[in-house]
């Protein structure tokens, strides 16, 4: 798989409770902070988006799509002074895939919901994204809106296979938005996600992800990209924000963490498969990156339960 697919496979995004909103007159809806990535598409009218901590208010028009990946509280509305309904009271009583009507509707409408992550390392993706990802390109806005509307249809009127199809649609929607964001910001963004738009650095990341247990060196990676050792090292650090060996170590530990949490595989087997000649060396690296020894991490993950998810979405 490619690096983005690898990361999303580790995080295992899931879709929950996509709904619509049809608002009329002066209106606003306040959303509490919560986990995951929120995703919204405005289908009619216009409104404003306010983040409790983040950028200045953002004007949204019909067709616009936004991702909100930081878990912050936010508010949609017609104007800053409009009284705000509480999303926790407005949406939970409405069936998923259906729309809530506010103030009689007719002025502004949209659809949306959120993705939560089963994998424990959501910061691997969320940490490289800003508080708001605003999709501007017309073709991408249409594709995202169609994906959301199809997802809502599957949730509203389940057919055989709807649960699996909804999951695929949700992941497709997320990937579409991330692709567009990378395309728009690759020249000024720093991080593994932006590096995917760089042919040479994307190729290096793909090689590391394809075989993380290989005995990679700075020289072998540079040769893989047809660059000199010094040029490759400098460009990788500038683009990704880490040295190649720092990135490789972190990725190995994230892969190991996923295997420890999801299987009964012995620590020694995982260590050797990821390029470590001894379990002790692997354990030291794992503790340095993840924060606790591998066996303790596995025990914590197997005994932990995810907290209850909020059902306030629009």
Q: Are residues 179 and 208 in the same domain?
A: no
pLDDT tens readout for residues 91-105: 988 888 888 999 999
- H helix runs in the chain, sequence order: 3-11, 87-90, 123-126, 138-156, 162-185, 192-195, 199-210, 218-224, 229-240, 244-262, 267-273, 279-290, 294-303
pLDDT value at residue 157: 83
Q: What is the reported pLDDT for 306? A: 47
Listed range (26-40, 158-172, 236-250) with the worst mean pLDDT:
158-172
Q: Which domain holds residue 122?
A: 3-185
Decide which of 132, 159, 185 is a domain's last residue.
Answer: 185
In a domain? residue 193:
no
Query: For residue 10, what pLDDT band results from cuts at 50, 70 and 90?
Result: confident
**Average pLDDT in the chain:** 88
Residues 251 and 104 both lie in one domain? no
Same domain, 134 and 269: no
Residues 165 and 252 in one domain: no
Neighbours of 76 (CB within 10 A): 25
Quick one: average pLDDT of 65-83? 93
Strand extents, DSSP E, 24-92: 28-31, 37-44, 46-51, 58-61, 65-68, 74-77, 85-86
Give yes or no for residue 311 having a pLDDT over 70.
no
CATH number at residue 61: 2.60.120.280
Report in angstroms the alpha-carbon separations of 60 from 57, 65, 95: 10, 8, 26
Closest CA to 10 of 165, 126, 112: 126
Phi, psi of 121 (to 5 degrees): -120, 50
CATH number, domain containing residue 257: 1.10.10.60
Q: Return the higher-pLDDT residue of 119 and 205.
A: 205
Q: Which residue in 175, 252, 238, 259 sits closest to 208, CA to CA?
A: 252
Q: How distant, in Å, are the alpha carbons of 2, 252, 281, 282 from that of 278?
A: 28, 15, 5, 7
Tally of structural domains, the chain: 2
**Predicted pLDDT of residue 187:** 72
- Residues 154 and 276 occupy one common structural domain: no
Find the mean pLDDT for residues 216-227: 96
Does residue 310 register a pLDDT over 80?
no
Q: How far is CA 251 from the centre of its chain?
A: 17
C-alpha–C-alpha distance, residues 102 and 129, integer Å: 31
> Would you state the torsion angle of the CA atoms of residues 51, 96, 155, 261, taken in this order, to the nearest 10 degrees?
60
As a whole number of angstroms, the distance between CA 46 and CA 247 comes to 42
When pLDDT is cut at 50, 70 and 90, the band that residue 15 belongs to is low
CB 26 within 8 Å of CB 79: yes
Rg (Cα) of the chain, in Å, rounded? 22
């Amino acid at each position: 798989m490619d690096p983005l697919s690898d990361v999303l496979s580790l995080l295992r995004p899931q879709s929950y409770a996509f709904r619509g909103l049809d608002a009329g007159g002066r209106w606003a809806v306040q959303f509490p902070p919560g986990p995951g990535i929120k995703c919204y598409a405005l289908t009619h009218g216009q409104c404003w988006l306010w983040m409790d901590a983040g950028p200045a208010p953002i004007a949204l028009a019909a067709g616009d799509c936004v991702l909100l990946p930081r878990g912050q509280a936010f508010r949609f509305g017609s104007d800053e002074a409009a009284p705000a309904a509480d999303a926790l009271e407005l949406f939970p009583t409405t069936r998923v895939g259906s729309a809530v009507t506010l103030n009689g509707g007719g002025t502004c409408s949209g659809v949306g919901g959120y993705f939560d992550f089963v994998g424990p390392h959501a910061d691997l993706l969320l940490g490289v994204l800003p508080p708001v990802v605003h999709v501007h390109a017309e073709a991408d806005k249409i594709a995202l809106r169609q994906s959301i509307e199809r997802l809502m249809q599957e949730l509203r009127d389940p057919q055989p296979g709807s649960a699996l199809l909804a999951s695929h649609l949700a992941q497709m929607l997320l990937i579409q938005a991330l692709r567009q964001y990378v395309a728009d910001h690759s020249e000024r963004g720093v991080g593994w996600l932006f590096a995917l738009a760089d042919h040479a650095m994307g190729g290096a990341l793909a090689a590391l992800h394809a075989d993380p247990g290989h005995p990679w060196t700075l020289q072998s990676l540079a040769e893989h990209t047809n660059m000199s050792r010094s040029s490759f090292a400098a460009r990788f650090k500038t683009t990704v924000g880490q040295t190649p060996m720092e990135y490789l170590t972190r990725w190995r530990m994230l892969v190991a963490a996923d295997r420890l949490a999801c299987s009964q595989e012995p620590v020694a087997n995982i260590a050797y498969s990821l390029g470590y000649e001894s379990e002790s060396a692997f354990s030291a690296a794992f503790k340095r990156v993840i924060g606790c020894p591998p066996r303790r991490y596995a025990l914590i993950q197997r005994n932990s339960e995810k907290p209850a998810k909020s059902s306030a979405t629009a």
